Structure formats: C-alpha cells, structure tokens
Structure 1
Amino acid sequence: MATNDFVNDLKSLSLSQSENVYIETVQRLSLRLKSATPNGLLEDKPFALSLIDNFYRIIPIFEKKLSNKNAESHATNLFLETLQNACRGVCLTDLFYSVKDPSHLKTIFQNYISLLKEDYFRDDNNQYDHLVTCLVALTGFSSLFIPITEANLPSNFLLYSLEFTKKNWKSEERVELVNYILTLIKSFSKKPLLVPTIIRHQWPHACIQWLTISGQRPSYNTDLHICYILQKLARCIFGVEVLNELNCVKSLIESKEQMKKDHNEKEYSNIDFIQSITYALLVESDEIKQNSLLADQFMCHILEQLVSVILNASQCDALIYRGFHITEGLVVLSKLFVNDEILKKCLKESNQLFDCLSQLLIRFTSEIPLNIQWVQDEILITLTNLFWSISFHQFSHEKFQSHTKLMIVLSNLSTSSSLYTSTRIDSVPLDLSSLKKAADGILWNLESLRLPSLKEKIYQDQQEPLIMISYSHIDKMFCHELVEHLSQYLSIWVDYKQIKSENVWEEIANGMEKANVIVLIISKEYYASKSCRQELSYACDTLGKRILPIYAPNQQYQPNGWLGIRIAGQKYIHFGKKSFKDAANELLSVVHVEKKLILPVKPTIQNIVKQEEKNSVKDWTKNDIQKWFDENHIHRDLFTLIGDHLLTGSALLHYAQHLKQFYRHEYAQVSSNYSKKFDGKQLQTVDFITFVDACEQYYASKSCRQELSYACDTLGKRILPIYAPNQQYHPNGWLGIRIAGQKYIHFGKKSFKDAANELLSVVHVEKKLVLPVKPTIQNIVKQEEKNSVKDWTKNDIQKWFDENHIHRDLFILIGDHLLTGTALLHYAQHLKQFYRHEYAQVSSNYSKKFDGKQLQTVDFITFVDACERLCGVQKS
C-alpha cells in the first residue's frame, strides 16, 4: 500500500498544480521515501524498483521547478537529496541484478540516459547537481548487465561529461557527482563495443593525466574509480594498445608514492591491487613468463587477493566481489598462469581453487540465467585456457581424472563447442585460444583425446609430406616465403594449406605423423603459445620425431624456459646470419631425405552397390520428415514451426548443420517465433533440447555414412564390422547393403577375450595388393539437360525460385540480381564455401531491405538446400 501511495503521489505531480499543493506533495514524497528506505534503496527492493520505473516521468517537471530559486525548487532539492542519500553507501548492483528481464533493464537504462542533458553539466550554479547525481547513479548501475553501443548514448555525452569531470575532479562540493560519473564510465569501459568510442573521446588520456598530476590526491573514491576505468579498458584489445601507447604502466608506478601518502593503508591496498591487475593485463605474456614474480612478497599478496576475489565472486549471485566481476579475475589469472611458478603456487596454496574453477565450468555449460547470459562465452574461454595451462603439469592430472563431471564437460566442449560459443570475445587477451582449441589441448595433455596413431602407408594420388612446419602466426609471412621456396624440392605440411575442417588438432597430428622432420620457426611468440608447446610435445614425446629449429632473419630471441630445454643441443639454422638462399639450401641438406615415388591407385568402383538405398535421405518427402519428427518424440509445435517448412531430407540436414553453427542465434529466433505463433506461449527448454539432440544425432549418423563411403568408395579399404556385447540391431537399408556378405565379429556371442583375439587374427591376415578397378565408362550418357542451367535467363531463375518454394523476399534480395544461370551456379558454389559469412550478410541485408524484418532460418535453409541440389544436378 505504501508503495502504491508513493507512486500515485509521484504521478500526480504536474506543472499546473498550485505552489502549495506541489510543495505538500513533494514533502510527502520525501517523508515516504525516508520511511521506506532508512538504510538505503536495498531496504525494500519492490519499492525501489517501483520508484525507478516511475521517477523518470517527472524529471521535466523537476527541471522546470529547479530553474528558479524559490520554495518549490527548495522542496524539490530536498526530495532529490533524500533520494541521493538512499543511493549512497549501498551497492545498487544487487538491486538491478534482481531484475531478471533484460528488456526491463534496457528500458530503465534508456529512460535515464536520455535525460542526461548537456545543459545540466554546463551549469556552474550547482542548481541541478542533486538531480544529475540521481540520474547518473541510476544510469550507471542499470547499465551493468546489458549490452550498450554508441547509438544508445546521447550525442556528445562522453565529451561533455569528461569536460565536467576535468573541471570538478577535485571539487569537494561536487565530489559525489564526479564519482558517479566515473562509475558510469567504468561500467561503459567494460563494454567492448563502447571502448573505441571512449578512446576517441580521450577518457584514457584524461585518466592517465589525473594519475600523474603532482600534489595532493583527490578523494579515495575518485582515485579508486580512475584506476578502475584503466583496469576495465585494459581488458579490451583496443584498450591495451592505447594504454601502452600512453605509457600507462609508467604512470601507475609514478602515482604510487603520492597515493600511499594521501590514503590510509586499507585504501592504498585496494588501489594497488587494481593497479597490479592492470599491469598484468598490459604487459606481454612473455614478460610474465620470464619474471620471477614470486620473489616479491607483495606480488604474492596480490595473487592471494586475486584468488580470493575469484573464490568469493563465485559464491555471489551477481558473480561480483569488491567491484570485480568474476570474469575479470579469470582473465587476469589466465594471463598470469603462463608463468609456471605462479600457477603452481596458486594451486598448491589454495586447495579450493581447482574445485571452484571446475564447478564454474560445469555451471556455465549447463543452464544459464538469462540476465547474465552475456558473460557465458567469456567465462568458458578463460576457464578452458586456465585448465589448459594447468594440464601441462603432471601433478594436476590426478585432480582432472578424479573429477568425472569435469572430464565429461571438457569432452563435450571439445566435440560440441559451437553450442557454447560462436564469436571472438574482445574483452579477453589475444593470447587466449578459442574454446575448442583449449578443450582439445586439455584432453590431449591428459591423454584422453586419442589422436590417430601412425598410419599404415597407403597409395595416394599425391606424395606424403616430408617436413611439417610448426610456427607462431607472428612469423606467417616468413613461413609463406619459406614454403614457397622449399615446395620446389620437398613436400611440405603446413596448416594454412592442409587444414580444411574444424578438427584442427586431428589434422595437425596427422601432418606430424606423416612428416619425417618437424621444422620449428623459433620466436618468443612460439614460446608464449600453448598451441606450439602442445605441437612440440606431441612431436617429441609421443612420436619421437626429428626436430629442426630455425630462426627468421630479424629474430633476436634466445630460447629459454620449456622451449630452451626442448631444443638444447639441436642443430639450428638462422636465416639472419646468411642469405635466404644459402640458409634454405642448408635446411634442405639437413633434411636430406630422397623423394620416393608414390604410385597412384585409382579408387575402386561400387560394382556391388550400384544404387542408393530405396529411401535415401535425399529423397525424403515432407511425410518422411514428419515421420522423423514423430519417431524422435519432438513436440508437434516444433514440427508446425520448423519441420513443415523443410521440403526435403537434405534441407533437414542443412538445418541441423546450421543449428550446430548458430545455436544461440537460432534458439533466440525459434523462441521468438514460437511465442508469436502460439499466442505468447513460451518454448519449453526440454522440447527444444529434444529437437536439438535429434538434429545432432541425425547429422552425426550422416557423418558415419560419409566416413564409410570414403573408406570403401574412395580408398578401397577393407572393413570389418563388429558388434558391442548387448547390441541386438540387424543392419538394414544403406548399412545392410554396405556390409552384406562381410565377415563380422559379435562381442556378445563369445567372451570378450575370444572376440578380441578373433579380431586380431582377422586384422593380421596377409596384406594383399588392391588392384585398381577402372571406372565404368561415363560416355554412354552424354546427353545434356534439355534446358541447361548455363543457358537460363532471368525468367528461368525466377521459375526455379518458385518451383523450389523459396520465399519471394529472397528472390527480391538475391535472385533478382542474378541475370544468368551461370551466375546462379557461381552463387551456389560461393554459398557452399562461405556459408557463415553469407548467412550473416544475407541476414543483415534482409533486415535493411525489409524494414527490420528478421530473416527466418527455415526460409534461408530452403534456399540453401535448393542451391546445393542445383549444383549436384550440374555435376551429374
């Protein structure tokens, strides 16, 4: 009732009221506010949120009343001072975190940021100070949990707020307003999309200037917020570049003595902690690696505080402790953990840390509260990189292996990382690896990811590589030059030429296994890279390969640490100590391997199987798709929403692949469409997950079929079917045809040992030469289509769009610009090669073309599927 009375009084304020009525109403509001919030706004959260949802409405009235110094302005300022006191000394973060609807937070932010007029900040009479202080406070805290871009800010806000802060940063009268402005900029500095704007308006320059100004320091809170802004900016790639250009580290060091003098011990300790974290974010990983940071007792204390922040933040609902979100602590720790000394100290002195990191990873790969979903990618990337660093140390392996849930999560991340992250996070350092790469690296170090062993040599149409080049991407130009020269004399495996799939580690391992020599391009970046360390470890320890270290022409780095030990005593070649040609010739002489002729064997032809299974997926009709939905117990509503728009089995396959690549975007779109389609009804997570799982199983089953097809049809390999002990399945369809007449082993029909021995005896039969079988003559059917696609006109293209039930909007957007059949074929090929890029571009163009309308995935998939079938027709 009190809340309703307060809100009603607030809404009743108007410019048409008499002076007495206005003053009485405002005084009553002040009393009710004091009564409801004796210990601040957090005292009564429902009341506080009702106030915030309605306060912005009467700001124009307050502005008018404050423009004149009279009884009305005095009463207004008393109310605003009461509200300012209710905001003071409490952490409003908890209040805004309790708002679970992100759209509500966005509305609050937009309501208040739009009120921050330039005139308020130009006023030298302080008449609007209480009003602006309340507005800035509410704006700053409401911004914490939402994405913000420059478009969300009033024009020139960052400029006039900076001018105000520069003018008043040591003013005792305006210190509270200055600190709220700095708090708001601190929040903005955490938004990667806003950092370039903050830099352009020279906030970093001002903060560093404030640090180095001689004389007495401002208030503790002002210094604290200045340091916070620099620390937040240092989380972003762009921020690091600018702060290093401005010699931020030097300024931090120079400010320490005066700060220590002007602030008490506890205050200085807090500031120094923030400055130390900023330093760690700004320096290169190589410097952290080489420094003996643990010799400094104070640095040890900083590490203890950092671990404490992470442990305590993990226990808070908002994941914030001492002004730090847990992601900030994790990012810093991931950088510091490149120093093995630091890593060992933190893990051995804090038994809780490993368990804490494990629980966080498990938590953030499962259900995430909607209002903190924006932190998921960052947390997962930093956590997996932390675990990757930890996994290099033998003492940690027992911890990993005893934590079953953690190992399951890591395995899932390795195989299904696209479900968890899809973009590069600008607020994590560049030297942190992608989620999948880190997860694979952990499993490799723990020997849980069984990469392919040395392969039996097979006949191929091309030569096997003799050397594999392992390098850091800082040396990619030199690597390209080297490969171009050496390729005339040797066969070379190098990532940018050979890696064609997402399975990066498997392909790298295959390249190493086939190589006779691993050439290492040595640099400090190579030393700093966990990936390079992983490659070298596998080459030396697992495969026992010869390695040959080489140095690029201008490389001055002297190997140390783990790399120095690895290549100690090895012959090396420095391309800076002789001409490129002489150095390259020396490399060739060291490799000294004669090229061997490898005879090509043409693939066998499927004389046994000359036709596809009777009901191939490619031949599925709408009825088959509906049957698949039913058999997989997928909710009927999802068939109505999605399945009903997929006209072929290949379209379903394309959709499953799209869903894997754009999981988060697709989930958001399906949820939104579901609510619109079914009158506001909410999509149930379990229903969507059932659909996702069926799609993934469907896509994976096609992958198994593709593997078997490649083994039999392309490579002509022997196959040996085996069955697990409890397997009752009788092969049918395409699989039944494939393995018909093959010898098989069933582990359920004899003891495991006997079945395994039988398998060994079958495998160990004498290898027989597989004779090439000439393909059937394809000249029998040489008749072209009656109306070849290459001869199509614009009308034919429009007809093709209509016949394939492609949405009319997509014809307008794309088809209408394709004038010939060959242009359509080229587009289809381009779409296949650059699917992700093209999907993003078409989505963006669609929204612009059709007034913000969103491209529906099923419409795009129908188009993609038709394009792929068109390419298939042309090839045949």
Structure 2
Amino acid sequence: MDSSSHIQIVLSKINEFHRLTISDSDIKIKNAIQEILHLWPEVLTAVDKATDDELFTLNISRAVLTQVFTIVLSKDFFNKDHLLVREIFFTCFNILVNHVYIFKNTNSTPRNIFIDSNVRLLMKMLTSITSLVKFQNEDFSKINDYQLFIAIREHIDQDFKHDNLTDGIISFIWNLSDRTILVPLFINTGYVNSIIQWIKTREIKFRDDKLNAPIHILHNLSRHDDGINQLNIYNALKIIDDIKTETNKYDNPDDLTIHIAMIRALLTNINQIKNDSKKYSNKILNMIIKLCIDAAKNERYRYNGSHISEPLTVLVKLFYNDDILHNTFYNNEIKSSSNIQLLIELLISLLTKFYSKINLDNDILENYTCVVILNLFWLISNHKKYRQIIQNNEQLMNIIKRAVNDEEIFIDTFMPRTMKSIKQSANDILKNFDS
C-alpha cells in the first residue's frame, strides 16, 4: 500500500465520525470519542507523507474531532463516567508527550504548523475537562511526563510574542494547577521561579485576557504547604505586593484585588497575621465573605473559578487575628454584618450536606470543605460572645458531637498544617463550651 492510499484510508475513517449526532445512543457516542482519539496519532503521522491537497483535508479533519468531543461534553453520562474522563484526558496528554518537540521547534514548516494546530486543540480539550478528572498520586510520574511539563514551561519562559501555543499552555497550566494534588508536580518541574518571572513580565508575555493567569496559578500553588514554602523562598510576597490593579488593564480589578489578598494571607504565617490587621481592610474582608456566599449558592460551589473552600481557607487564617474576627462581626457596615450571618447559615447547610457523605464518595473538595468549616467554627467558639451562634443551632451541634465520637477519621493529605482535623476542631469547640 502506498502512502497516498494509507492517507485516504485515514481520512475515510475520520469521515465516518462526521455522521455522529447528539441524538445517537450514549454507547455509540462513548465509542466514537474513544475510537477517534486512538486514531489521532495515526492522523498526525500521516502528515509526513501527505500531498498539499491531503494536508489541507487533514487540517479540516480537526473539525470532526471537535464535533465528537463537543457532543460527548454535552451528554449527562460524561460527568459521571470518571473512567472515561480519565481515559480521554490521558489519551490526549500522551499524544502531547509524543509530540513534545513542537514546544521547542520554531520552524514554520507546513508539517509543524499542522502539528502545532493539533497540539493546541488537544490542550484546549484537556483544559476543558481538567476539573472533572480524578487525579491520583502516581499520575504524571514518568520521565516523559516531566519532560513535557518542563518543555511547555520553557516555551513560555522564552516567548515574548503572545504566540498561540503560549496562549493554550497558560490556560492548561492554570486549570491543572487548580488541582492541589498536582502542586508538587509543578514544584518538581521548576514552575515556582518561572511563574514569578511570568508575573513580572506578564504585560509583554501574555494576551490581555490572560494577563492575570500567572497570578491565579501562583494562588493555586499557595494553597499547598509545599507551594507556600517554595514561593516564600523566592520572596513571592514582595512580587504580589508590587502588583498594581489598574482598571484600564484588567477586565475585573476586584477579582485581582481579592486574589492578591488571598495569596498574601496564605503566604503569611499565623503569628504575622495575628499582629497585622492593616493589610486586610473591611473592603477586602467583605469581598472574601461575598465570594464565599456566591460560591455557596452555586451548584458546583464555585464562583469566578474559585471553589468555596479557597476563600474559606483564607478566612480561617485571618480569624486567628482577633481584631479581624471581631471586625467581621461588628463593623460599621450593616451589609457586612448581614453577610456574615448569611455566610454562617450557608456554611451550616453545606456542612450538614457534606458531612453525611464524608468518606463515602471520597470527594476531596467536599471533605476538605468540612475541615475548613469546622476550623472556622472552632475559631469563633474561642470567643465567648459568639458561642451562641453555634450552640443555638441544633443541626450544627449534632454534627460536632458526632464528629467527636465518629470512628471514621478523615485525613486530607493536602490539608494545610495550620488546620485542625475534623475531630480536633469538634473536640476543641466542645472544650470551649465547657470552659
């Protein structure tokens, strides 16, 4: 069989998927995405011997992959099929691993342009499903995986032209770093120093809609103790404090303001926070509380990309400062006072919902949210005048008493060292009531 015949066979196989529609059965749709992804390495290899006309047709074929992927995303079964999500993610990822050279190659040959466009499509697909993947500790443990992460980091390091690959990479890293289990991966592949440099040069390195991406990535790294340690080695706090939020440059200056405040709190140790109230104004506190409320009301417990556990973690750390805690409950702004009451009601509701499932569905974020909420109530219970907030709520008290006696001990590998466990928090709340 000559090369032209082989390419025609590949194109014929791709064309079969063009007939897939959203009304097809779930099984057919699932098979289609599996088959077309396993075909795609063959598509990328076919370009080596393709004529100009065949290359043009192969380029158009990306639309078929996009079509199949879009149909899969629209189906209810997809979000629930964790094995399929992992299969799609790692099939796409492994194709990137096998074409790592494209991140280092600057030659604009027709072949490289074709590979580049396919790599960007695959990264876009990966970015869109990252939040659904149940990652495991052994993921990305191969040397080739590490080499890919290093290559895409170095591509951004060396790019000052806002190229399309950089745009795709920064979105991929942004979403991937949101998964706390993967923070050590980014540390081990040299991202901490690079991200700090990206923040310094972001106005010439990234397009307008991605200017804040490296700041969000830094925030993601600071949600892990190892990330905090590494960021402090590189004096990330100074870099964050030097950032100016200018309305004419950023789509949402408030979003940037709150993330800078959250990063500052996460990178600052508790003893420093206890003695420094000035850096956390009423405006900042109100923004953090409002973010918690908006996320709590959302079906996925997210708002503007932040899971409710993120601002709550910051609030817990800030509540070690008695002045900040008192000011949150009793400042001069009526809106703030009503917001904290609403937040407490929502947190009790969330705790009631999540605690009943703890250790059953192994949802790390939901389990960790229980940890954070009970830490928050423990800090509140340290102050006699606020204890009735807890004692007067029967549902909350039942959970606290249950947590003390629960034989199941929930351990979150990525729980910050400053957090008490569920059992410890519950115990200390009850001790405060007896004091």
Q: Which bracket does the TM-score occupy, shorter chain normalised?
A: 0.7 to 0.9
2:249 is the counterpart of 1:263:
yes
Partner-residue secondary structure (3-state), 2:174:
helix
- In the alignment, structure 1 segments of 5+ residues that lack a partner are 1-14, 38-43, 448-537, 539-876
Aligned to 2:125: 138
Per-residue CA distance 1:303-326 (angstroms, 9 max, x = gap): 333223322323334332211122
Aligned to 1:57: 38
**Aligned positions of 1:311-330 closer than 5 A:** 311-330=293-312
Q: Which one-letter code corresponds to 1:442 in the other structure? A: I
Q: Which one-letter code corresponds to 1:183 in the other structure? A: W
2:166 is the counterpart of 1:178:
no
Partner-residue secondary structure (3-state), 2:357:
coil
CA distance in 2, matches of 1:161, 1:187: 17
Partner-residue secondary structure (3-state), 1:152:
coil
Q: Which one-letter code corresponds to 1:362 in the other structure? A: T
* 1:282 paired residue among 242, 259, 267: 267
- In the alignment, structure 2 segments of 5+ residues that lack a partner are 330-336
**Aligned positions of 1:599-678 closer than 5 A:** none
CA distance in 2, matches of 1:346, 1:186: 31
Q: CA RMSD in A?
A: 3.5
CA distance 1:284–1:60, change in 2 (3 Å): same
CA distance 1:302–1:87, change in 2 (3 Å): farther
Aligned to 1:147: 135
Per-residue CA distance 1:17-74 (angstroms, 9 max, x = gap): 56667557656756x68x869xxxxxx9999866544432111122123344622332
Q: Which one-letter code corresponds to 2:119 in the other structure? A: V
CA distance 1:22–1:196, change in 2 (3 Å): closer
Aligned to 2:211: 223
CA distance 1:420–1:77, change in 2 (3 Å): farther
Per-residue CA distance 1:832-861 (angstroms, 9 max, x = gap): xxxxxxxxxxxxxxxxxxxxxxxxxxxxxx
Contact 1:280 1:336 in 2 (8 A): yes
Per-residue CA distance 1:98-151 (angstroms, 9 max, x = gap): 522433333333322222122343343332122212322333444434133355
Who wins on radius of gyration, i.e. which is larger?
1
* 2:47 paired residue among 66, 73, 88: 66
Partner-residue secondary structure (3-state), 2:399:
helix
Partner-residue secondary structure (3-state), 2:351:
helix
Aligned to 1:464: none
CA distance in 1, matches of 2:69, 2:215: 22
CA distance in 1, matches of 2:4, 2:193: 47
Aligned to 1:412: 402
CA distance in 1, matches of 2:77, 2:224: 24
Per-residue CA distance 1:462-506 (angstroms, 9 max, x = gap): xxxxxxxxxxxxxxxxxxxxxxxxxxxxxxxxxxxxxxxxxxxxx
For CA contacts below 8 A with separation 6 or more, give which structure has more relative contact order: 2
2:233 is the counterpart of 1:233:
no
Count of equivalent residues: 410
User: How far does residue 365 in structure 1 lie from its aligned partner after superposition?
Assistant: 1.4
Contact 1:168 1:174 in 2 (8 A): no
CA distance in 1, matches of 2:186, 2:382: 39
User: How far does residue 353 in structure 1 lie from its aligned partner after superposition?
Assistant: 0.6
Q: Which one-letter code corresponds to 1:307 in the other structure? A: I
The sequence identity of aligned pairs, in percent, is 21
Contact 2:43 2:58 in 1 (8 A): yes
CA distance in 2, matches of 1:237, 1:414: 26
2:144 is the counterpart of 1:127:
no
Aligned to 1:104: 84
Aligned to 1:167: 158
Aligned to 1:437: 424
* 1:361 paired residue among 351, 358, 372: 351
Aligned to 2:184: 196
Aligned to 1:591: none
User: How far does residue 204 in structure 1 lie from its aligned partner after superposition?
Assistant: 0.9
User: How far does residue 439 in structure 1 lie from its aligned partner after superposition?
Assistant: 0.6
User: How far does residue 269 in structure 1 lie from its aligned partner after superposition?
Assistant: 2.8
Calculate the TM-score normalised by the size of structure 1. Answer: 0.43
User: How far does residue 250 in structure 1 lie from its aligned partner after superposition?
Assistant: 0.8
Aligned to 1:614: none
Aligned to 2:257: 272
Partner-residue secondary structure (3-state), 1:115:
helix
Contact 2:351 2:373 in 1 (8 A): yes
CA distance 1:402–1:169, change in 2 (3 Å): farther
Higher share of residues assigned helix: 2
CA distance in 1, matches of 2:237, 2:301: 28
CA distance 1:50–1:267, change in 2 (3 Å): farther
CA distance 1:183–1:195, change in 2 (3 Å): closer
Contact 2:17 2:68 in 1 (8 A): no
